[in-house]
């Protein structure tokens, strides 16, 4: 039995100015505990949902853009609502075929579960991860194991 919802599903920013539709299953969902994500979220970690660009469509409003410079020097476009400031998605440097959506912006989030955790070396000491979580001290060089863990988990 699939743990996935019936697609398409919808989401948007906090003020409602920007809405989007997700037409298919994510490729993977993970948490990132790097200090940059802590700063960007004002919290302890970020949740990230990699999706095919062709499965993701903005249906209302327009997002503003901010170019974040990563440690690698890569410029990573961050797309956020100009009214409420919620960051809706990021364009990863690795692959133009995917975008990274912030899954907390989905209207219905009960099915969203991170199967992997990145940058555990800077995770807050109190962070507890489920035992079956794939963990990486920093950034994984290969995303395939994360995608496999996600597929395995969604099959229930």
Does 37 bind Zn ion (CB under 5 A)? Our answer is yes
Query: Cα 73 to the chain's mean position, in Å?
Result: 21
DSSP 6: P
The span of 22-30, 32-40, 104-112, 141-149 binding Zn ion (CB under 5 A) equals 32-40
In the complex, least distance from residue 32 CB atom to Zn ion, rounded to whole angstroms: 3
In the complex, least distance from residue 152 CB atom to Zn ion, rounded to whole angstroms: 24
Please tell me the count of residues contacting Zn ion according to CB under 5 A.
9
Of 4 and 36, nearer to Zn ion (C-beta) is 36
In the complex, least distance from residue 74 CB atom to Zn ion, rounded to whole angstroms: 13
Question: In whole angstroms, how far apart are CA 22 and each of 34, 57, 78, 84, 112?
Answer: 26, 7, 18, 21, 13
Q: Is 91 helix (H, G, I), strand (E, B) or coil?
A: coil
């Amino acid at each position: 039995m699939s743990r996935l919802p019936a697609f398409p599903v919808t989401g948007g920013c906090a003020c409602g100015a920007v809405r989007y539709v997700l037409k298919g299953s994510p490729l993977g969902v993970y948490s990132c505990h790097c200090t940059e994500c802590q700063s960007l979220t004002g919290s302890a970690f970020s949740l990230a949902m990699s999706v095919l660009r062709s499965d993701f469509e903005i249906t209302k409003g327009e997002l503003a853009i901010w170019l974040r410079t990563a440690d690698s020097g890569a410029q990573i476009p961050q797309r956020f609502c100009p009214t409420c400031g919620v960051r809706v998605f990021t364009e990863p440097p690795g692959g133009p075929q995917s975008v990274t959506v912030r899954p907390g912006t989905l209207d219905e989030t009960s099915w969203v579960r991170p199967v992997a955790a990145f940058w555990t070396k800077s995770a807050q000491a109190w962070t507890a991860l489920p035992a079956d979580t794939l963990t990486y001290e920093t950034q994984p060089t290969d995303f395939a194991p994360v995608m496999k863990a996600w597929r395995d988990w969604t099959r229930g």
